[in-house]
Amino acid sequence: MTAGRLSFILSFCLACSACVALRGGMLTPRENPTRELKELSGVWKFRADFSPNRKRGFEEQWYKRRLEESGSVIDMPVPASFNDITQDVQLRDFIGWVWYEREASIPHHWTSSDPGPRVLLRVGSAHYYSVVWVNGVLVTQHEGGHLPFEADITSLVQSDPSPSCRITIAVNNTLSLHSLPPGTVTYNPDTSRYPPGYFVQNIDFDFFNYAGIHRPVILYTTPKAYIDDITVTTKINENIGLVLYNVSVEGSTEATVTVTLCDKKGNNVATGNTSSGALKVPNANLWWPYLMHKDPGYLYTLEVHMKAKSHSYLFEDQYTLPVGIRTVRVTENEFLINEKQFYFHGVNKHEDSDIRGKGLDWPLIMKDFNLLHWLGANSFRTSHYPYSEEIMDLCDKYGIVVIDESPGVGIKQVESFDNQSLSHHLVVMEELVRRDKNRPSVVMWSVANEPASELPPAGYYFKTVITHTKALDPTRPVTFVSNSHFARDKGAPYVDVICVNSYFSWYHDPGHLEVIQIQLNTQFEDWYKTYHKPIIQSEYGADVVPGLHSDPPLMFTEEYQKAVMQEYHAVFDVKRKEYVIGELIWNFADFMTVQSTTRVVGNKKGIFTRQRQPKAGAFILRDRYWNLANETGQLPPRSRFP
Ligand code: GCB
């Protein structure tokens, strides 16, 4: 591949990153009497653009007619990563544009413009850069995986009231130094060593760069004057809960808004008749984390109704938002939820599984929540990118506490700290906060994982990203996860909670379990004495090839993972009485990575296999977490959980 050819893949992405401007809300679409929803999951037509410059689809305008008229197509499931669906190794490791297409039938009444509904096309997430056309007309572009985006296609479907429309989505997984996560492409024109046109994508993060349409694509409607966004924050005063809300309406300047807060049984507990205000809830049922209360994850519902006049039409819209009443506060050595000490005993996860890669999969989601319950885990970090809204809804419901992480992983090169990267990172934080701001399960934002935070520009960079995130959401603490030296980390001064990853006796002093306690103790003391902030051990662990055994423990055996965990736990048990406020194992389950000499078909640090079967370490953690829950909360009977 020549430099010119390569630059096309990147320049398209970069030129467009400047077009991303955050406007309006991004409420999770929900069906109700004023809104309809049509999910487009299923089999789509698919074509990867294998042309040398990956540009043929644009040159030949594949979006202008049916994709199969452009050349041969295959069937591809949506949602799913495309990588592991076929037997084609070239598709598995493909870099560049892939094209998806399907026809969607449009209900007759959606095509009426008198007044007709507003019609939206929404993609839950697609990795990494997406361009969307409807009937050959460009409707939106979006940079970044893991977060939703949508296009208003009302005028298109109403100006051409045919019974179906053709949706084409081109997705490019090429990462650049300014994408999030960053990556680079190197090409090798030396044909004595590489085939012609050879190039590879390099990444500085440890999970496979799965690509495609990862979350559901849906069509949904709202009235033309509609509830655009709702923001809720909560406070507690003695036993009175306070729900502060703000509703924004688009499409009319003459809207009236009423809100009703209902409890779980459907009783009205408070009402309001303005677009913003405070609702008082006497004897409020608070939202408590799993294992901290006999009824965790208590959710009220905020029923928002809007009536508006516009162009002599009367519009009515409604939206129901789950609301958990809870507070979060950080002191020098504690994390408080509802003013009670909270200790994170949880996991780091990935959205990852056989065949579907990062595609949303309901059976897997339910299995994972059942395993979290079984394990006695009260929390997880969305390492290393935002997880699906479907997962987040269940965290709210089950009381699983979340550290909500942005895709800021692998920020290692100095170029990735420049203004272009910084502005993109700010937009991503806006998208993330906009999506998850109302979720009681989210107790902290993590803006990055293991950046090169010792580099000179890291101070300004993280100060800016963290300050911006706090301005977007003054109610939650903000962190990033560090593996830098405590004295040289330039971002740590700006975080509320120190999150540290370390792999003693694995990447450092491999095979030497005897160093763990000394080194971990030193790690905690160094960070605490420097910053006087609470600390979470945000990663620790060891790879296990399931079924490998040895006593005395040797690396990669089940016994070694157990031993590493027990050495870490001994120190946690001392330090959690002082300032350590949590421990998150790396990782919940094995997951796919790039191929390398240190990865045996992926990362094997899971306490469960990729197929969600327990390794020996899972039982160690289960005993520990249930014991911790017994100490720190009101434990429901263990038998309640599968
Ligand atoms: C880390 C990274 C995580 C890796 C893990 C490992 O520090 O944050 O993404 O997968 O180590 O296993 O190397």
Q: Choose one of 483, 502, 586, 590 to mutate for the ligand 1 pocket test, by most ligand atoms within 8 angstroms of C-beta.
A: 586
From the list 101, 150, 450, 558, the catalytic residue is 450
Pairing type for strands 226-237 and 240-250 reads antiparallel
Under a CB-based contact definition with an 8 Å cutoff, are residues 34 and 306 in contact?
no
Q: Choose one of 203, 205, 206 to mutate for the ligand 1 pocket test, by most ligand atoms within 8 angstroms of C-beta.
A: 206
Does the model's pTM come out above 0.85? yes
Under a CB-based contact definition with an 8 Å cutoff, are residues 210 and 83 in contact?
yes
In the chain, the percentage of residues whose pLDDT exceeds 70 is 95
Q: 134-144 pLDDT, tens per residue? A: 999 999 999 99
Three-state SS letters, 388-450: CHHHHHHHHHHCCEEEEECCCECCCCHHHHCHHHHHHHHHHHHHHHHHHCCCCCEEEEEEEEC
Mean pLDDT (whole number) for 344-363: 98
Question: Nearest 5°: phi and psi at 271?
Answer: -135, 160
Q: Choose among 544, 538, 555: nearest CA to 590.
A: 544
pLDDT at 269 over 60: yes
pLDDT at 614 over 90: yes
Q: Which atom of ligand 1 is nearest to the CA of 450?
A: 8
Q: How far is the CA of 354 from the centre of ligand 1 (A)?
A: 20
Instruction: Specify the pLDDT at position 284.
Output: 98
The residue with greater pLDDT, 16 or 629, is 629
Known catalytic membership, residue 450: yes
Ligand 1 near 537 CB (within 6 A): no
Q: 557-602 pLDDT, tens per residue? A: 999 999 999 999 999 999 999 999 999 999 999 999 999 999 999 9
Contacts of 224 (CB under 8 A, 6+ apart): 115, 116, 117, 118, 154, 251, 310, 313, 315
Instruction: Specify the pLDDT at position 21.
Output: 47
